Structure 1
Amino acid sequence: MRELVFALEYEPGRNRVADALADHPGARVRSLSLHATDDHLWRVDHATGTAAALAAVEAAFTDGDYYADCLATEDCGATQTTRVLDRDGDTLVLYTDWEPTPVCASVPHIARDHLGDGVLFETRHEGRHYTWRLIHSGEGDVAAFFDALRAAVGDAARTELLRTANASATDESGGDGGAPGLSPEQEAALSAAVEHGYYESPRAVDAGELAAHLDVPRSTLTYRLRRAEERLAKAHVDGDRPTEAASASFD
Structure 2
Amino acid sequence: MREFVFALEYDPGTNPVADVLEANPRTTVRSLSCHVTPESLWRVDRATGPETGIEALEAAYREPSYCADCLVRDDCGADCETQVLDRSRDELVVYTYWDRTDVCTSVPHLALEYLGEGLLFETYREGRRYRWRIVLGSDAPIGDFFDALGDEVGECAGMEMIRLTELDPNRERLGSVDSLPVEQRTTLQAAVERGYYETPRRIDLSELADELEVPRSTLSYRLRRAEASLATAFVADDDSLEAITTGE
TM above 0.5, yes or no, is: yes
Q: Could you say what secondary structure the match of 2:57 adopts? A: helix
* Residue of structure 2 in register with 1:236 after alignment: 226
C-alpha change, 1:153 and 1:241, in structure 2 (3 Å) is: closer
Query: Does the Cα contact within 8 Å between 2:35 and 2:42 map onto a contact in 1?
Result: yes
C-alpha change, 1:6 and 1:241, in structure 2 (3 Å) is: closer
Structure 1 unaligned residues grouped into runs of 5+? 175-179, 183-198, 204-231
- The superposition leaves residues 181-238 of structure 1 with CA deviations (integer Å, 9 ceiling, x where unpaired) of 39xxxxxxxxxxxxxxxx79968xxxxxxxxxxxxxxxxxxxxxxxxxxxx959739x
* Residue of structure 1 in register with 2:90 after alignment: 90
State the AA in 1 paired with 2:55. Answer: A
C-alpha change, 1:144 and 1:55, in structure 2 (3 Å) is: same
C-alpha change, 1:115 and 1:11, in structure 2 (3 Å) is: same
Query: Does the Cα contact within 8 Å between 2:17 and 2:60 map onto a contact in 1?
Result: yes
Q: Could you say what secondary structure the match of 2:155 adopts? A: helix
**Highest CA radius of gyration, 1 or 2?**
2
What is the CA–CA distance in structure 2 between the aligned matches of 1:50 and 1:164, rounded to whole Å?
A: 34
State the AA in 1 paired with 2:226. Answer: H
Number of residue equivalences: 192
State the AA in 1 paired with 2:89. Answer: G
State the AA in 2 paired with 1:141. Answer: P
Equivalence map 1:100-249=2 (5 Å): 100-168=100-168, 181=175, 236=226
Q: CA deviation at 1:43?
A: 0.3
State the AA in 2 paired with 1:149. Answer: L
C-alpha change, 1:99 and 1:201, in structure 2 (3 Å) is: closer
State the AA in 2 paired with 1:93. Answer: V
Query: Does the Cα contact within 8 Å between 2:26 and 2:199 map onto a contact in 1?
Result: no
Q: Could you say what secondary structure the match of 2:56 adopts? A: helix
Structure 2 unaligned residues grouped into runs of 5+? 177-196, 202-221, 238-248
Q: CA deviation at 1:89?
A: 2.4
TM-score (norm 2): 0.70
Q: Could you say what secondary structure the match of 1:155 adopts? A: coil
Moved more, 148-157 or 62-71: 62-71
What is the CA–CA distance in structure 2 between the aligned matches of 1:128 and 1:87, rounded to whole Å?
A: 23
C-alpha change, 1:117 and 1:88, in structure 2 (3 Å) is: same
What is the CA–CA distance in structure 2 between the aligned matches of 1:98 and 1:168, rounded to whole Å?
A: 35
Runs of 4+ in 1 over 6 A off after TM superposition: 199-203, 239-244
Cα-Cα RMSD:
3.2
* Residue of structure 1 in register with 2:187 after alignment: none
State the AA in 1 paired with 2:16. Answer: R
* Residue of structure 1 in register with 2:212 after alignment: none
What is the CA–CA distance in structure 1 between the aligned matches of 2:154 and 2:62, rounded to whole Å?
A: 24
